[in-house]
Chain A
Amino acid sequence: MHHWHRTYSGEGLKVKKSLLILFLITLMVAVSFGAAAKVKFWHMYLSGPSKEIMDEIIAEFNETNKGAIEVEDLAISFWDYWDKIRVSMAAKQEPDVFLHDLGNVGMRASTGILLDLKPYLLAAGFDPEEVFFEGPLKMCSYEDGIYALPLETDVRLLFYNKDLFRQAGLDPEKPPTTWEELLYYAEKLNVLDKNGDYEVVGFNPLYGQSYFWMYVWGKGEDFITEDGDIVVNSPGIIQALEEWVALINELGLEKLLSFGANFGWGAADAFIAGKVAMGIQVGNFIADLAMYAPDLDYGIVQIPYPVQNATWSNGFSLELSSRSKNIFAAVEFALYLLSDEVQLKLAEGISSLIGNRRAAYQSDLIEDPQWKMQIEALEFTKFRPFILEAPLWYETLQVATEEAIYGTKTPDRALNDAQKLIEAEIQKYKMTH
């Protein structure tokens, strides 16, 4: 007994020791796997069907990746979102994955706070050019990397009121297909009251989401030179502004302004009130029409600009913090959100104009002519080019446009001054960076 005990304890100790070590290793492995990597995700889907869909999407992801990754999301209202995300970045407490403005990804990418997703996309077998629409994808690129993913975007289209068409003797199934037709129809659709003020405006270039830069693109012009510099006073753009101002003057600026002052948004929108026969609006306007004027008989068509169809997009990007503690988990979640299945869900659940092109064409929604038109627009849509040194160049352009419209400056003087201001901005940036 004694003998056995002695030998056993010698070997037993060895066995016990190795068992202990094995147990500890298993425990460590179990604990490290059991502690799921937490991914903080901030978005703006605070209420309604979009909140329900996002909750479902996140829950499914958490279920599939139980124990390995856990996504904690936070919904913030649109109005507060931008301040909150900015402050969180300044406090070095930004979330791992977050929505942001697709129009100025470069601004954040240049500070180093965003994760370059290109290597991860390629490793996961995502060919970005094959999967995403060209316009949105371009906005996600900065220098040689891809710093964001195009989660949601939008387009502008020409909405027209079929009842007003009928009243003016026009065929409601034959919307204008050229710019001349648009102007011709517009004149027929104008209705003036006894003072000569507008009761109904046929085509209101100052209404809705009609912007001068869209007209510039519609004339085949561009704001970027071959060298990649920003230009707002090229001969083509000056001519475009002259035409734009002429159009507004023909309709009467003061009359258009006093007409516009009677309306607002939502139920008080001029088109919804049936006072604008043809107007340019964003695709989401379809939801507004469904809510505030379900009986309004309307149609939508690509905007028939003079030289080529053009439209403008902006949208939300999905970005990742380069300072995240759980980069792989965050990337996993981001790729999930942009995967075909999830994008299909977003498209079908909330008619979101998604960035994933493959999913957009696979969706059943493609049978819906209105959605199909928006997808077609996404193929040729343009975004306002992002200029790192002068990110608000388009506001300077807008002021110049207004100066020309109000007649305080001629179009070429206004645009030349705007170009000088933008170049001064670029110089200012170089002096401080």
Chain B
Amino acid sequence: MGRKRSKYFRRKNLAGYLFAAPWLIGLSAFVLAPILATLFLSFTSYDMINAPRWIGLTNYKILFTLDPGFWKALGNTFYYMFGSVFLKVFTGLIFALLLSSALKGMRIFRTIYFLPVVLPSIPVMFLWMMMFNPRSGLINQLLGFIGIKGPLWLNSPQWSKPAMILMSLWGIGGIIVIFLAGLQDVPEYLYEAAELDGANKLQMFWRITVPMIMPVIFFNTVTGLIAASQVFAESYIMTAGGPLESTTFVNLKIYLLAFKDVRMGYASAMSWVMFMILVPMTVLLFRISRRWMDY
């Protein structure tokens, strides 16, 4: 009886593995293998013509002592990451609260806010470049109506990152949808009980809503931060890393090092250092969130 059963389960398991095989092969060949390759390459000097030459930790040494540009790029990346994610999460939550009311037409608004997420990103970037145009762009014109002389946005070293952070609000639809789902899960009786106890709307927001959806806030924050750390296309297309390298992000730097300078070894080392910065950061976030989620 035992033998027959295990044979049955083994066959079932085998079928499962076979179904997962294409994806596993794809993952190994196109994701894991290149990642391991870059780990190896980070200890070499590789110009893509001659074989990689082993140089040990030299790339890492250079990165930490001779490359201020990397740290500037890291600073730019963190500025964008935290600026964009906090703005998106905060604004997303507010919009989700507004959209979760049962007013008529809310479903249409939900669709409208989600639409930008499905648009192709490159044409959208050109659209934003037009909107940010200091003289004829929509944003400065609107600011002009209320008497503010808008800055040079993408042409200004100080305003280029804020411009990109504003631009990232475009993708807020995904966050809103997830928050809406989270808000639905907050049990009604909590609000009713609070109302009976005489709580006002603001107190209900801070004491009930926020703690109850803390896991969702946390999820959006962490995934948002990881995604934002990969920022590349915006600076590659819109500003080429400028002006004055204010929008040179780490991902862009790695790309240019690998494919323009053809310094594959050094670029690989940079990727791994970035990885080693993001991993502890994520772990730290998990630790902090566990504290927040203790209610």
Chain B binds chain A:
yes
- Name A95-137 residues within 8 Å CB distance of B: 107-108, 111-113
Cross-chain contact of A86 among B58, B152, B262 (Cβ < 8 A): B262
Report Cα–Cα, A338/B137, bound state, in Å. Answer: 49
Report Cα–Cα, A87/B266, bound state, in Å. Answer: 18
Q: Is A225 in contact with chain B by the CB < 8 A criterion?
A: no
Cross-chain contact of A262 among B133, B152, B243, B262 (Cβ < 8 A): B133
Interface 9-mer from B18-26, B47-55, B95-103: B47-55
| Interface of B, helix, strand, loop or mixed by DSSP | loop
The residue of chain A having its C-beta at the shortest distance from the C-beta of B154 within the complex is A261
Report Cα–Cα, A89/B48, bound state, in Å. Answer: 7
B158 to chain A, nearest CB (A): 10
- Name B247-282 residues within 8 Å CB distance of A: 259-263, 265-266
Q: Are B133 and A261 in contact (CB under 8 A)?
A: yes
Q: Is A257 in contact with chain B by the CB < 8 A criterion?
A: yes
Q: Is A83 in contact with chain B by the CB < 8 A criterion?
A: yes
Complex contacts, A89 vs chain B, CB 8 Å:
48-49
Cross-chain contact of A428 among B66, B133, B137, B259 (Cβ < 8 A): B66
Q: Are B155 and A261 in contact (CB under 8 A)?
A: yes
Q: Is A7 in contact with chain B by the CB < 8 A criterion?
A: no
| Interface of A, helix, strand, loop or mixed by DSSP | helix
Q: Is A90 in contact with chain B by the CB < 8 A criterion?
A: yes
The residue of chain A having its C-beta at the shortest distance from the C-beta of B256 within the complex is A392
Taking residues whose C-beta sits less than 8 angstroms from the other chain, chain A's interface range is: 20 to 34
Cross-chain contact of B49 among A83, A108, A421, A433 (Cβ < 8 A): A108
Given contacts A258-B135, A392-B260, A428-B66, contact A111 B49 (CB under 8 A): yes
Hey, what's the 0/1 contact readout for A65-101 against B, CB within 8 Å counting as 1? Answer: 0000000000000000001001101100000000000
Report Cα–Cα, A316/B243, bound state, in Å. Answer: 29
Q: Is B242 in contact with chain A by the CB < 8 A criterion?
A: yes
Q: Are B265 and A262 in contact (CB under 8 A)?
A: no
Hey, what's the 0/1 contact readout for A384-402 against B, CB within 8 Å counting as 1? Answer: 0000000110000001001
Complex contacts, B136 vs chain A, CB 8 Å:
261-262
Q: Is A408 in contact with chain B by the CB < 8 A criterion?
A: yes
Complex contacts, A427 vs chain B, CB 8 Å:
66
Q: Is A424 in contact with chain B by the CB < 8 A criterion?
A: yes
Q: Is A328 in contact with chain B by the CB < 8 A criterion?
A: no
Q: Are B58 and A432 in contact (CB under 8 A)?
A: yes
Q: Are A403 and B244 in contact (CB under 8 A)?
A: yes
Q: Are B62 and A431 in contact (CB under 8 A)?
A: yes
- Name B222-255 residues within 8 Å CB distance of A: 242-245
Q: Are B244 and A406 in contact (CB under 8 A)?
A: yes
Q: Is B92 in contact with chain A by the CB < 8 A criterion?
A: no
Report Cα–Cα, A216/B259, bound state, in Å. Answer: 29
Complex contacts, A107 vs chain B, CB 8 Å:
262
Report Cα–Cα, A113/B155, bound state, in Å. Answer: 41
Report Cα–Cα, A21/B69, bound state, in Å. Answer: 72
Cross-chain contact of B135 among A262, A391, A421, A428 (Cβ < 8 A): A262
Q: Is A197 in contact with chain B by the CB < 8 A criterion?
A: yes
Cross-chain contact of A111 among B50, B242, B260 (Cβ < 8 A): B50
The residue of chain A having its C-beta at the shortest distance from the C-beta of B44 within the complex is A432
Q: Is B221 in contact with chain A by the CB < 8 A criterion?
A: no
Q: Is A254 in contact with chain B by the CB < 8 A criterion?
A: yes
Q: Are A432 and B62 in contact (CB under 8 A)?
A: yes
Complex contacts, A108 vs chain B, CB 8 Å:
49
- Name A395-433 residues within 8 Å CB distance of B: 399, 402-403, 406, 408, 421, 424, 427-428, 431-433
Complex contacts, B58 vs chain A, CB 8 Å:
431-432
Given contacts A86-B48, A90-B49, A112-B50, contact A428 B62 (CB under 8 A): yes
Hey, what's the 0/1 contact readout for A265-307 against B, CB within 8 Å counting as 1? Answer: 0000000000000000000000000000000000000000000
Q: Are A90 and B48 in contact (CB under 8 A)?
A: yes
Hey, what's the 0/1 contact readout for A243-274 against B, CB within 8 Å counting as 1? Answer: 00000000000100111011000000000000
Highest count of chain A CB atoms <10 Å: which of B67, B135, B263, B265: B135
Report Cα–Cα, A197/B135, bound state, in Å. Answer: 9
Cross-chain contact of B243 among A112, A258, A406, A428 (Cβ < 8 A): A406
Cross-chain contact of B152 among A87, A254, A391, A408 (Cβ < 8 A): A254
Complex contacts, A262 vs chain B, CB 8 Å:
133, 135-136
Complex contacts, B137 vs chain A, CB 8 Å:
261
Q: Are B48 and A257 in contact (CB under 8 A)?
A: no
The residue of chain A having its C-beta at the shortest distance from the C-beta of B63 within the complex is A428
- Name B63-114 residues within 8 Å CB distance of A: 66-69
Report Cα–Cα, A403/B246, bound state, in Å. Answer: 11
User: Besides A87-B48, A427-B66, 17 other CB < 8 A contacts?
Assistant: A86-B48, A86-B259, A86-B262, A111-B47, A112-B50, A113-B49, A257-B134, A258-B134, A261-B134, A262-B135, A392-B261, A402-B243, A402-B244, A421-B69, A424-B66, A428-B62, A432-B58
A interface list, Cβ under 8 A from B: 83, 86-87, 89-90, 107-108, 111-113, 197, 254, 257-259, 261-262, 391-392, 399, 402-403, 406, 408, 421, 424, 427-428, 431-433
**List of 8 A-B pairs having minimum Cβ-Cβ separation, nearest first:** A258-B134, A90-B48, A432-B45, A111-B49, A258-B135, A257-B155, A261-B133, A89-B49
